[in-house]
């Protein structure tokens, strides 16, 4: 069966973010089954899922309750439009639930099909807002190098990872990029506090250069995810927010990864980073990946202009066929119910620091230059030289090597260039963490040997 599936796959399925020069030779792991913290391939090999699918299966795999909630909604009323004056029960229920979980001033929800579309909508709503209040020249969005905000045209432009836009055009006139906040690779000899001043100063200068009257919003992931799990220096978030407020620049916080428990709270903006964003975007953990769903949570003051009669009426001409899809919303409601019933955020507050400490014990390995992140959003950076931070050559495929060694030992983690990302389902406990760290310990030892053997 594996061969038949692979034949169909390679002939007809275009995989996202895939290197086709190796894809056709190497074949694929066909993941066919899942249960709790495990996934299995079609040959019956079972692996610990160290990446929650792709930062998303937060409540773990195989939750029959979510399947049942979806089936019940699909057979009762699978789909009907939410345009104009139509709605459905799960969309209304989920909106009220999200408003109750979000920071107090974010009470209005716009549904999308995932994270990219949530960020696209956020930009459209920001532009719409400034057009409606008579400031149409406020257009620029400030993003950051190495940010990941998605892959639709606007979201790809907001994305500052250069290799992501290789050979694609972007909407450059709309976006200006600041430096990422990368404490590990900050200029040599600069303290973390001075680095923070430097980054905030760069934003200040950019505002002067572009003119506050031309800037609509600043978008940031509270911890950069795909760009390398970059944790900003102390004070960075609130100081960047203060500059936004002083200059009438709206703040969009992309919580596609950091919301729904990964950092120990349903939303991390306010509780972890002291932020009061105008818009929070989310996806992934919102439905634990059981069904595609994203959302933009909008502040009361934006909503005054977008959605109330005081906003002078007029059609808000944006949305998707599947905005507020009843089956997706039913899945998300059940997902949140499970998270609350099983106190999964509290589990992360307890177990998250343990994962951080245990992963840091791997620092003694020759290639492990940095272990960073927060709670269940972690990353190991592989280097050639720990003193200088010099990287191994690309041909060494160090991130891939570590991931391959781990997989042979029954653990899936994510390689991104020279990095390895670990973003587990929120149901890991201390015993599983010990097991995972033992697997990684053996994997890094094997990689050190194999790199030596191959002359790196
Ligand atoms: N924003 C962040 C921070 C992400 O990590 C991702 C995806 O990984 C996205 C946006 C895009 O989400 P999607 O792939 O659901 O469009």
Query: What domains can you pick out in the chain, each with its CATH number?
Result: 2-59+345-453 (3.90.1150.10), 65-341 (3.40.640.10)
In this structure, what token pair is assigned to residue 17? Answer: 């973010």
Q: Which residues lie with the beta carbon below 6 Å from any ligand 1 atom? A: 114-116, 119, 148-150, 221, 225-226, 254, 256-257, 283
- Give Cα 52 to chain centroid, integer Å: 12
Give residue 216 CA to ligand 1 midpoint distance, Å: 21
Give the ligand 1 atom nearest the CA of 283. 15
140-144 and 175-178 strand pairing: parallel
Give residue 363 CA to ligand 1 midpoint distance, Å: 29
d(CA 118, CA 269): 16
In this structure, what token pair is assigned to residue 182? Answer: 């990368």
Give residue 146 CA to ligand 1 midpoint distance, Å: 13
Query: Taking a C-beta distance cutoff of 8 angstroms, is the pair 150, 119 a contact?
Result: yes
Give residue 194 CA to ligand 1 midpoint distance, Å: 31
Q: Is the pTM of this model over 0.90?
A: yes
Cα torsion 178, 252, 191, 383: sign: negative
Q: What confidence score (pLDDT) does residue 351 get?
A: 98
State the 10-residue block means of pLDDT for the chain, 456 residues long: 92 92 88 98 97 98 98 98 96 98 98 98 96 95 98 97 89 94 96 98 98 98 98 98 98 98 98 98 98 98 86 83 98 98 98 98 97 98 96 96 98 97 98 98 98 96
End-to-end CA distance of the chain: 39
Give the ligand 1 atom nearest the CA of 54. 8
Choose one of 51, 114, 158 to mutate for the ligand 1 pocket test, by most ligand atoms within 8 angstroms of C-beta: 114
- Return the closest-CA partner of residue 59 out of 352, 282, 286, 230: 286
Strand 411-412: give its sheet, edge to edge.
31-35, 38-41, 46-49, 411-412
């Amino acid at each position: 069966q594996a061969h038949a599936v692979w034949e169909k796959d390679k002939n007809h399925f275009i995989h996202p973010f895939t290197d086709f020069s190796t894809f056709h030779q190497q074949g694929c792991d066909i993941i066919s089954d899942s249960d709790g913290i495990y996934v299995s391939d079609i040959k019956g090999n079972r692996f610990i899922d160290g990446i929650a699918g792709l930062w998303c299966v937060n409540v773990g795999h195989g939750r029959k309750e979510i399947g049942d909630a979806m089936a019940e909604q699909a057979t009762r009323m699978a789909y009907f439009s939410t345009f104009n004056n139509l709605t459905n029960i799960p969309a209304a229920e989920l909106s009220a639930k999200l408003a109750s979980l979000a920071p107090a001033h974010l009470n209005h929800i716009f549904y999308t099909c995932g994270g990219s579309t949530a960020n696209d909508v956020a930009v459209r709503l920001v532009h719409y807002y400034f057009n409606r209040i008579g400031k149409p020249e406020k257009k620029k969005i400030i993003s950051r190098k190495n940010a990941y905000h998605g892959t639709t045209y606007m979201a790809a432009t907001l994305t500052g990872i250069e290799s992501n836009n290789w050979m694609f055009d972007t909407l450059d006139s709309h976006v200006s990029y600041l430096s990422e906040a990368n404490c590990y690779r900050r200029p040599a000899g600069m303290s973390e506090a001075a680095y923070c001043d430097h980054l905030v100063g760069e934003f200040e200068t950019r505002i002067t250069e572009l003119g506050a009257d031309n800037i609509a919003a600043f978008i940031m992931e509270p911890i950069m995810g795909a760009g390398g799990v970059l944790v900003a220096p102390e004070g960075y978030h609130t100081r960047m927010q203060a500059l936004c407020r002083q200059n009438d620049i709206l703040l969009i916080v992309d919580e596609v990864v950091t919301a729904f428990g990964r950092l120990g709270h349903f939303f991390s903006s306010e509780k972890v980073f002291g932020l009061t964003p105008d818009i929070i975007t989310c996806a992934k953990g919102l439905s634990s990946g059981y069904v595609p769903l994203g959302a933009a949570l909008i502040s009361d003051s934006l909503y005054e202009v977008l959605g109330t009669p005081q906003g002078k009426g007029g059609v808000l001409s944006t949305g998707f066929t599947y905005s507020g899809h009843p089956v997706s919303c039913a899945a998300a409601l059940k997902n949140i119910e499970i998270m609350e019933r099983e106190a999964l955020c509290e589990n992360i507050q307890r177990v998250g620091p343990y994962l951080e400490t245990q992963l840091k014990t791997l620092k003694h390995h020759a290639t492990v230059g940095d272990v960073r992140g927060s709670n269940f959003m972690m990353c190991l950076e592989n280097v050639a030289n720990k003193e200088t931070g010099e990287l191994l050559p690309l041909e060494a495929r160090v991130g891939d090597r570590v991931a391959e060694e781990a997989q042979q030992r029954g653990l899936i983690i994510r390689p991104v260039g020279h990095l390895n990302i670990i973003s587990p389902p929120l149901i890991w406990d201390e015993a599983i963490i010990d097991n995972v760290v033992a697997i990684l310990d053996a994997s890094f030892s094997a990689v050190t040997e194999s790199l030596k053997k191959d002359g790196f």
